């Protein structure tokens, strides 16, 4: 898909990876719709890039449908969706409040699915489009104390695989970007800082570059790329992988 002139809806655009994606796309000549929950932060992203701000609560039951309708109303179409909104939570599963479980499932998994469902018919009718989902390395290998977060990201990955088969040959592409640790406020907001010495967090700009690449070329990407070895080892030698994961976290 050609990015220049394309109408792209980016969720999670109030900061972090989403804001970096908006900036990258705007610089390449895309007509960007920047969606976020925080009106002030979303407005700042839009003002600095020329994007159209759309404030939305995607965790609410009708949030995705309302956002999709508003996004289509701006230019009459949406050529690509970048589903970047998401949230984490750190701690043991028994300690996780039920409302936090519901929130993660709604925002991280249900919202991207419902947005895709709402926007996909228009893309299929036009015979072109892209859906890029922001997952995580946690969805490929699992992470202790982030069971629900990892489950939501694994769900996105399998959703993308299934949808890709379902719409094969339609002209609409589906891709997943799975970052490792990223230097954003994510860790502070999940309730625990990132304390590992390795791997070091990558910049949100680096992830944004990978996201934009998936719009131009349909392919799944792990950022940084070398992290893709972890799910490969897990698939080939699951017992050995689990032993290493317990030892090194």
Mean pLDDT in runs of 10 for the chain (249 residues)? 97 97 98 98 98 98 98 98 97 97 98 98 98 97 94 98 98 98 92 87 97 95 94 88 75
The two tokens of residue 31 are 């007509």
**Contact between residue 58 and residue 85 where contact means Cβ atoms under 8 Å apart:** yes
The two tokens of residue 3 are 């990015």
The per-residue pLDDT for 161 is: 98
Edge-to-edge strands, sheet with 31-36: 52-55, 31-36, 7-11, 80-83, 129-134, 172-179, 221-223
Cα four-point dihedral sign 20, 84, 148, 221: negative
The two tokens of residue 197 are 């010495």
**Contact between residue 240 and residue 230 where contact means Cβ atoms under 8 Å apart:** no
**Model confidence pLDDT, tens digit, residues 79-130:** 999 999 999 999 999 999 999 999 999 999 999 999 999 999 999 999 999 9
CATH number of 7-248: 3.40.50.720
| Boundaries of every domain in the chain | 7-248
The per-residue pLDDT for 196 is: 84
Q: What are phi and psi of 182, to 5 degrees?
A: -125, 140
pTM of the model: 0.95
* Average pLDDT value for the chain: 95
- Let me know if 241 is a catalytic residue: no
The per-residue pLDDT for 249 is: 64
For the chain, the residue count is: 249
Catalytic residue among 89, 149, 186, 241: 149
């Amino acid at each position: 898909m050609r990015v220049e002139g394309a109408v792209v809806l980016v969720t999670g655009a109030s900061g972090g990876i989403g804001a970096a994606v908006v900036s990258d796309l705007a610089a390449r000549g895309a007509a960007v719709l920047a969606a976020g929950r925080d009106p002030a932060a979303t407005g700042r992203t839009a003002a600095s890039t020329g994007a159209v701000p759309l404030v939305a609560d995607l965790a609410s039951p009708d949030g995705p449908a309302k956002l999709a309708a508003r996004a289509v109303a701006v230019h009459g179409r949406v050529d690509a969706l970048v589903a970047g909104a998401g949230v984490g939570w750190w701690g043991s599963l028994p300690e996780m409040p039920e409302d936090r479980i519901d929130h993660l499932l709604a925002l991280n998994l249900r919202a991207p699915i419902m947005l895709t469902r709402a926007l996909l018919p228009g893309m299929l009718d036009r015979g072109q489009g892209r859906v890029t989902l922001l997952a995580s390395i946690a969805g490929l290998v699992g992470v202790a104390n982030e069971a629900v977060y990892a489950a939501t990201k694994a769900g996105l990955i399998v959703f993308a695989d299934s949808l890709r088969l379902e719409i094969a040959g339609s002209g609409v592409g589906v891709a997943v970007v799975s970052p490792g640790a990223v230097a954003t406020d994510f860790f502070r907001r999940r309730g625990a800082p990132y304390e590992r010495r390795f791997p070091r967090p990558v910049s949100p700009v680096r992830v944004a570059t990978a996201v934009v690449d998936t719009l131009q070329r349909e392919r799944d990407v792990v950022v940084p790329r070398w992290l893709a070895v972890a799910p490969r080892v897990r698939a080939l030698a699951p017992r050995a992988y689990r032993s290493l994961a317990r030892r090194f976290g």
